A and B are shown apart, each in its own frame.
Chain A
Amino acid sequence: MTPDIDTPTNGLPSRRKLALTTAGALAAALVIVFALVLPAEYGRDPLGTGRLLGIAALSAPPVQAVETPRDATLYKPSQLGPIGYHAGAYKVDSAQFTLGPYEYVEYKYRLEQGAAMLYSWSASAPVKHDFHGEPDGKPAGTAESFDKNDRRDGHGTFTAPFSGIHGWYWENTGGESVTVAISSAGYYSDAIEIGMNHARRRHVLTPLATVRSAQ
């Protein structure tokens, strides 16, 4: 008498059960391949499970961050086309001045050649105004005017044509007090207020990180 092939002998599974189990395992493997492996590893999502489970992004190529140009520093940019690269974040600043009758003040930022800032200032009445720069290495008092017109406000961007201190002269030419307020952001390293009769006062600049943490 020959033994029945479907009959288990010695506690081993029958051939039929082995075949069923193998087929089940293959089916499960195929489901895993199509539902999980293909979307996650190869970016293919035939069943839509990659999108549903949020695993499709796993197949995206890793981001290779490019380093900032080596000659760029925090304050001196490396110019590549229209972009001036810096080695860190810019700073922000705001200041306000009250000019008594016939008083004046100068407010200047130290910018390296090519470094940029954007600014907005306004006054409570028209003032005599001179936006100018003083280049490093030149005799004291050497200045180049960029805009010398009476104004009540000014808004713009500025890229330093040379390294030095750049900023504004505001003069109250009338008999009533005038308030001037300025806000700016840029790659400047210092801010100096030059008051009447040459009194100099440094202003503390705010790092961008401080602004972000306050938000």
Chain B
Amino acid sequence: MRRRTWSYWMVAMFLVTAAQLPAHENFRIIGTATKVQATQVDVKTKDRSVAVRMDKQTKFLRDGKKVAAGELKAGQSVVVEAYGDSFEDLLAIEVRIVPPIRQSK
């Protein structure tokens, strides 16, 4: 009897915890790379600055073709497809290096 109660309690706790987990979603960051590090790129968009983590799975593209991570440099216009909970916690899935963007307010 005590074991069954414990099981119900565990299931209930799991459900409550799962419901509170933030839903991961896709984000698109468009702007200028202001700082490029091995594991992070900072992007200045038209309304904020966003730091996006990068890992070994992150793809780098230019003109639709894969390029080396080293091709990404500060000052370039980029479109970053990222995954995460919010702008404060994003992992880059793909970084596209695009022709210079004229940011309009």
Contact surface of A with B, Cβ cutoff 8 Å: 100-104, 140, 175, 177, 196-198
Q: A102-B79, A175-B98, A175-B99 are in contact. Are A197 and B28 (CB under 8 A)?
A: yes
B-side contacts of A197, CB under 8 Å: 27-28, 87
**In the complex, A101 Cα to B31 Cα: how many Å?**
10
**In the complex, A105 Cα to B56 Cα: how many Å?**
30
Is B104 a contact partner of A100 (Cβ separation < 8 A)?
yes
Chain B interface secondary structure, helix, strand, loop or mixed? loop
* Least CB distance, B4 to chain A, in whole angstroms: 31
Is A103 a contact partner of B25 (Cβ separation < 8 A)?
no
Q: Which of B25, B87, B101, B104 contacts A102 (CB 8 A)?
A: B101
Q: Give the residue among A100, A177, A197 with the most B Cβ atoms within 10 A.
A: A197
**In the complex, A193 Cα to B87 Cα: how many Å?**
20
Q: Which of B28, B30, B79, B104 contacts A177 (CB 8 A)?
A: B104
Contact surface of B with A, Cβ cutoff 8 Å: 23, 25, 27-28, 30, 46, 79, 87, 98-104
* Least CB distance, A9 to chain B, in whole angstroms: 112
**Given A102-B98, A102-B101, A198-B25, 17 more contacts at CB 8 Å?**
A100-B30, A100-B46, A100-B103, A100-B104, A101-B101, A102-B30, A102-B79, A103-B28, A104-B28, A140-B23, A175-B101, A175-B102, A177-B104, A196-B28, A196-B30, A197-B28, A197-B87
Is A102 a contact partner of B28 (Cβ separation < 8 A)?
yes
B-side contacts of A198, CB under 8 Å: 25, 27
**In the complex, A104 Cα to B27 Cα: how many Å?**
11
A-B contact list, 18 entries, CB within 8 Å:
A100-B46, A100-B103, A100-B104, A101-B101, A101-B102, A102-B28, A102-B79, A102-B98, A102-B101, A103-B28, A103-B30, A140-B23, A175-B100, A175-B102, A196-B28, A196-B30, A198-B25, A198-B27
In the complex, which residue of chain A has the Cβ closest to the Cβ of B101? A101
**In the complex, A198 Cα to B28 Cα: how many Å?**
10
In the complex, which residue of chain B has the Cβ closest to the Cβ of A175? B99
**In the complex, A103 Cα to B46 Cα: how many Å?**
12
B-side contacts of A101, CB under 8 Å: 30, 98, 101-102
**In the complex, A191 Cα to B7 Cα: how many Å?**
45
